[in-house]
Chains A and B, each alone.
Chain A
Amino acid sequence: MDPVTEYYPRRAPNLAARVFRGEAIIMNPADSTLFNLNETATAIWLAADGKSTLRDIVERDILPAFDVHLEDALRDAGEFARSLAEHSILTLQAEPEAG
């Protein structure tokens, strides 16, 4: 099991983002880097409020909406979350956000 799925992903603050028909485009205004997310990635990114684990998000938001198996979805979500964290688009926290 990918341990990152037990982390609490949170969207980084101060990003510019827009969702068009389920697909997000995100810009980091600090350096103008751009990211396009597909529908699944967008759903995860939108749900990343720091209060749910990545596994929770996959089980709650991805499985009912997309035709994917749990293990595949968790693996893809883990890779996606790591990638966005590397670009400072997402933070992965060991503990949930307070409040």
Chain B
Amino acid sequence: MNVVIGGTGIEVSTTDAAFEQVLRTQYAGFIQPESSASIQLTVDLTPPALTDPDADIRVRNEGNRWIMDRGDFHASYDALTRTGIVRQNASRHGLDSVIRIIHSLQLAERSGFLLHAASVIRADRAFVFTGPSGAGKTTISRLAPAGAHLLTDEISYVRKVGGSWKAFGTPFAGELARAGENRNASVEALFLLKHGTENRIRKLNAAVAARSLLRNILFFADDSVLARRLFDTVCEFVESVGVFELSFLPDARVWEWIQ
């Protein structure tokens, strides 16, 4: 199946019919058989012999190959041939992580980033809400008014297309436990979420905004060249998109402030 996120297709192959069905459900809105995939991933449901099942993600580079490990999977991805293999158990979480990592690597080279953020399209404009776990990403998503389109409540995909910064829907779900819609729109504003005792918006200066954004970006690779590119991308983003601190009460009135 061809899983297309942000315009990049990843063809996922597995010989296990039951697992394929799990993936078809997981990525339902993002499977586009008619599109051409630029990346091929084969999933081998042979759990890797890893010593620590609770280990954090490690991503390292060996020539053109990226090696990714966590407690529940081992994967390698050749950036030159754009092919990879994932060894994991039958849980969807391993492959989901590998797909995120590959997108984060691709985006770092293409003026884009994955961000711990919810994003919502309202009136054809995208609003992005970032913050660590517990900051309110799911809450603000749940409170979105009728007619708004949820792109994700957990991991936002942002990329420069032409001269415009666009947010794309992702299947990466947070507490809402549902995939985002497969849509995109130009980013109107980005909000750094804070729980507050009142609804309040404060514009952040670009240096503070860049730092806040960089802290919430998903980037796993130990690669100084890509890290530098990501830094430049974020600096460019905050120079052209307004970044605000949003303190809010958990009720729908907060959306009156988001225009």
Residue in B205, B219, B231 whose CB lies within 8 Å of A20: B205
B205 touches A23 (CB 8 A): yes
A25 touches B224 (CB 8 A): no
User: In whole Å, how far is A1's beta carbon from the nearest beta carbon of chain B?
Assistant: 32
Number of interface residues of A (CB under 8 A): 14
User: In whole Å, how far is B238's beta carbon from the nearest beta carbon of chain A?
Assistant: 8
Chain A contacts for B203, CB-based, 8 A: none
A-binding segment of B6-14, B79-87, B133-141, B206-214: B206-214
B231 touches A27 (CB 8 A): yes
CA of A16 to CA of B236 in the docked complex: distance in angstroms? 13
A23 touches B211 (CB 8 A): no
Of all chain A residues, the one with the shortest Cβ separation from B225 is A29
Residue in A18, A21, A24, A29 whose CB lies within 8 Å of B224: A29
A32 touches B205 (CB 8 A): no
Q: Which of A13-40 contact B (CB under 8 A)?
A: 14, 16, 18, 20-21, 23-25, 27, 29-30, 32, 34, 36
A25 touches B210 (CB 8 A): yes
B227 touches A20 (CB 8 A): no
User: In whole Å, how far is B72's beta carbon from the nearest beta carbon of chain A?
Assistant: 25
User: In whole Å, how far is B220's beta carbon from the nearest beta carbon of chain A?
Assistant: 11
Residue in A14, A23, A29, A30 whose CB lies within 8 Å of B207: A23
**What are 12 A-to-B residue pairs whose CB atoms are below 8 Å?**
A14-B224, A16-B227, A16-B231, A20-B206, A20-B238, A21-B205, A21-B207, A23-B207, A24-B207, A25-B235, A29-B227, A30-B224
Task: Return the 9 tightest CB-CB contacts between A and B, nearest first.
Answer: A20-B206, A29-B224, A16-B231, A29-B227, A18-B235, A23-B207, A29-B228, A25-B207, A16-B228
Q: Which residues of B contact A (CB under 8 A)?
A: 205-208, 210-211, 214-215, 219, 224-225, 227-228, 231-232, 235, 238-239
